[in-house]
Amino acid sequence: MTGKSKKKSEIGVLEKIAYGSGDLASNFILVLSSTSVIFFYTEALKLNAAIIGLIMMASRLFDGVSDILMGFIMDKTKSKRGKARAWIYWLAIPISISMVLLFLVPNMGDIGKYIYVAITYNLVTTVLYTAINIPYGAMTALMTRDQGERMSINVFRMVMAQIGSVIINMITIPLVNALGGTTHQTSWILASIIYGVIACALFYFTYFKCKERVHVENTGEDVQKMGFLKMAKICLKNEQWLIIVGIWVVMSFGLGAGMSVNNYYAKLVLGNENIGGIITSCTMISAIILMPALLPLVAKWGKRNMCMIGCLISLAGSIMMLVNPYDATWLIICNLIKGVGMTPLTGSIFAMVADTIEYGQWKTGTRTEGMLYSSTTFGAKIGAGVGTAIAMAMLSSAGFVEGAALAAQGEGVVPMLIQLVIWWPIIFTVIEFVLFCFYSLDKKYPKVMEDLSEREAQAKNAKN
């Protein structure tokens, strides 16, 4: 087929759920290997927060490079299992096992522990998570070219992803406490085994139920024969994609900084470490509830306009937190409001990336799903990694003492936590709003697809 959209959907509800299950699996891995593992390293192993932050920042930089390389590899993949699906099939088991390795830190000196952390953290995030998640994300552009269907698929994806994040953020600390306590390594190992088994099963559900339908006629230079630098130059000509990358970097920087210290905020500012996941999950709960209503709103107002409205709502929720940052109930209310604002962006961002893939093909004649998607996640990971590292360094400089109660912490720790959790999201939400002002693909997309259909039909006829 040429990839031309049909009026009637080819993608059923079960397949959309199966696709969303892949991001649910990814979130079991992502959340456990980010916010949870930081808490484990500092609380259970008593490792220095600033050093852990530096390891994670360095890993994110390597991870970003591996994203781009994986996108390049995926664009050249030819397998009977599919261009993207094959990687899910090959790596579901290895990545699930690697999750457990994160917490199997041997009993040795601190230097040895830091080396082990660096190796296993990079194995999970830089190698395996990248190799399975880049093809998974790019698969949207291979399942359909219909803008509405992509939005629908993405809504299913984000609902499932948010469910995963809510589950992990809300139950991980209580689960670890039930298994023996956050200061006991065995408890974390058992929790990682449980999550690994679930993630593996979800990945295979995605593989067996999702199909790659888009096989376009080549209207430009053959990607299979194209070098890395040439492909990268083609991507950089796509200005709409560059805007989305910028938005994702900014969003990830703010979220990485805030979420990396959420458990500390709950423990030291609110006095209850178990409530940190609940407060964080409130933004996701709002998204889960409201995501289905997003489809008709986007159809009427467009993805860009809905995202800009969402930024304003999120901004209001963050500013409201300043009224009483020490009250857990008030923070829950504010985060529910922030979640309402975040819904359009989380529900649209991956569909917008897929739209820029079509735009890039229209503008340059070359289709590069893997490179464009992977370079987007590269920006997101760099943003999250740098945000996490800076947040941990700032917390350490404020007098943070690993594993200690509030009385033993420096005087600047609580004000620093308030700055990272509340003020940083305010600043970065404003930047996101400004960047959205320059995104214009929603209006251009119908013309883009009309032109692509004509070009591909001509290319197909020329072959016959």
What's the average model confidence in pLDDT over 402-427?
87
Mean pLDDT rounded to a whole number for the chain: 88
Q: Pick left, alpha or beta for residue 32 (phi over 0 → left; psi -120 to 50 → alpha; otherwise beta).
A: alpha
Higher pLDDT, 155 or 464: 155
pLDDT bin (cut points 50, 70, 90) of residue 280 is confident
Percent of the chain with pLDDT over 70: 95
pLDDT higher than threshold 50 for residue 3: no
**Confidence at residue 427, expressed as pLDDT on a 0 to 100 scale:** 94
Are 253 and 383 in contact by the 8 Å Cβ rule? The answer is yes
Most confident of 222-226, 257-261, 387-391: 387-391
**Confidence at residue 222, expressed as pLDDT on a 0 to 100 scale:** 66
By mean pLDDT, which of 253-267, 319-333, 412-426 is the weakest?
Answer: 253-267
pLDDT higher than threshold 50 for residue 230: yes
The string of pLDDT tens digits covering residues 6-15 is 445 578 999 9
Question: Considering only CA atoms, which of 208, 191, 188, 167 is closest in space to residue 85?
Answer: 208
pLDDT higher than threshold 60 for residue 262: yes
> What letter represents residue 141's amino acid?
A
The string of pLDDT tens digits covering residues 15-51 is 999 999 999 999 889 888 877 898 899 888 999 988 9
Topology of the domain comprising 13-210+228-463: Growth Hormone; Chain: A; (1.20.1250)
CA distance 77 to 80: 10
